[in-house]
Amino acid sequence: MSQFSDLLSIYIKESPFSIKNLANEIQIDRTILQKYISGKRFPTSYATIQKIISHLTLTDQQKYDLKKAYQIEKLGLDQYSYLLKIKSIVENIHYIEPLSFTTEYQFDINKSCASNLDDLLIFTQFILNDASTTDHKLQICLPASNKIYELINHTVCLDGHISLEHLLYLDNDISNYQNMYNLIQFENCFPTLLSDHCTIKYIYQHSDSTFNSQNMYPYSIHSQNYTLLINNKLDSGMLLKDEINDYLHTQFEQLFMKGYPYSSYHYSDSGYLPFYSFFNKEILPFSSLQRKPNILFVLDNDMLERHCMRDKEELLNDLDHYRKHINSILLSDEFHLYFTKGGLLELIQTGVIDDISSSLITPFDNEEIQLLLHRLMNINKHHHNFYLHLIKEDFKFPEHCLIAYQEDHEVLFGVKGKKGYHSFILNEPTIKREMFHLDILMNIEDIIYTEEETLQVIEESILQTQRLRHLNV
């Protein structure tokens, strides 16, 4: 037996139902239910378990424990934990506005060895100061999950006065879920990935020509005049200058040239719409996740022209390219559109879309929004490969954020800041591979409504808004 079947057996025994009566209630064969309880058979869908749960008196904690046990048995503990980490990263995506501040510190210029983390942080501050007063350039070979990187991230990567070249060593064992090393690097690098003055490259640790775990000082920080060499435990280091600094600079630059681009940065002041043009126009399954529904696919030119305040020709051109790309996908592949209930209601109530900047278009009126939503539902009705997915409230998808991906090909992250829209195309294969599992995550976590429920929520939201409008009139 497994933890899942053990829990299921306990909860059913504690209920007023016999196995036979419960099987009759949920309209399932009694022998199949018995096999679930004994662990001889595993449910292919959690929907079956939800039917069972609906007839049992369980606390929220018991429901959670049963669902978790089901998910772990279905996926394995490592992949399940990995998917939960991805969920946490997505829920916490936001754009951090650039900062500019100075840090006071005391530093003995005659000291050249750091024997602990506090010393390393002081040395790092010294190098940051050298970069800010010389060529405004910093080069680092450093993991993105430590206090040293955190200091650099908050004093340099978010301050537009210094450019950063960052070399990451990653794990290329794609079957290694346990340490989540690459995913943690991605999470901590996210602010720098949205910056146009930060360039990140990566090299795999197991590559013959790169990382040597036996090297006493595999990590480094470089300003114009100094190099800080750091040991592999990140708790000691040496500050070097003059000729040895020049040599180490050259070494870093040669290694950086061999690295692979981690991402490609893009910026737009007109919204998410221009970002879609950065996708390679391969005909592959396409998914788009946002808080509000993406209505670009059904937005006609006349409607856009009526609301456009400037840059009309550019927006119409971007919209035309987007629609052509989606149409070509629908001819032979799938298009999945994910959005939240809160975002749907906000769209209906305000008429403001996120894909185009509100500085370029006026809000759509209530009737126009209803028309666009009806178009989405009609396309869903007539195209078997066009899917609408409503995200449940327990998945806190962030505001002002776009995630779009073409399976096994490209992943786009877009975030709105105060001054514009920032995005990057992710290049690193092991992280991209996990992003393609977002649909698995949402299904296994049961955080999307069924297609029928999604359409019903859209229709009910439209009807409710119509009733409110009539009452106001």
Find the largest Cα–Cα distance for the chain: 84
pLDDT > 80? residue 213: no
pLDDT > 60? residue 106: no
Give me the percent of the chain exceeding a pLDDT of 90.
Answer: 39
Average pLDDT, the chain: 86
Q: Mean pLDDT over residues 141-151, rounded?
A: 91
CATH class held by domain 266-472: alpha beta
pLDDT > 50? residue 101: no
Q: What is the pLDDT of residue 178?
A: 60
Q: What is the pLDDT of residues 183-204, one digit of tens each?
A: 999 999 988 898 888 999 999 8
Q: What is the pLDDT of residue 177?
A: 58
B/e letters for 318-337, b = 16+ CB within 10 Å, e = fewer, are bbebbbebbeebbeeebbbb
Q: What is the pLDDT of residues 122-138, one digit of tens each?
A: 999 899 989 988 999 99
Q: Which CATH architecture has domain 113-261?
A: 2-Layer Sandwich (3.30)
> Residue 469, Cβ neighbours under 10 Å: how many?
12
- Range from 75-84, 105-114, 248-257 carrying the lowest mean pLDDT: 105-114
Q: Mean pLDDT over residues 238-261, rounded?
A: 91
pLDDT > 60? residue 103: no
Domains 3-75 and 266-472 fall in the same CATH topology: no
Q: What is the pLDDT of residue 395?
A: 86
DSSP string, 285-334: -EEEEESS---GGG--HHHHHHHB-S-HHHHHHHHHHHHHHHHHHHHHS-
Residue 96 contacts by C-beta under 8 Å, 6 or more apart in sequence? 158, 191, 194
Q: Mean pLDDT over residues 399-403, rounded?
A: 92
Q: What is the pLDDT of residues 404-421, one digit of tens each?
A: 998 878 899 999 988 899
Q: What is the pLDDT of residue 422?
A: 93
The predicted model scores a pTM of: 0.85
Query: What fold, for 3-75?
Result: 434 Repressor (Amino-terminal Domain) (1.10.260)
Q: What is the pLDDT of residue 158?
A: 63
Q: What is the pLDDT of residue 58?
A: 85
45 versus 36: which is more confidently predicted?
36
Domain boundaries, the chain: 3-75, 113-261, 266-472
pLDDT > 70? residue 254: yes
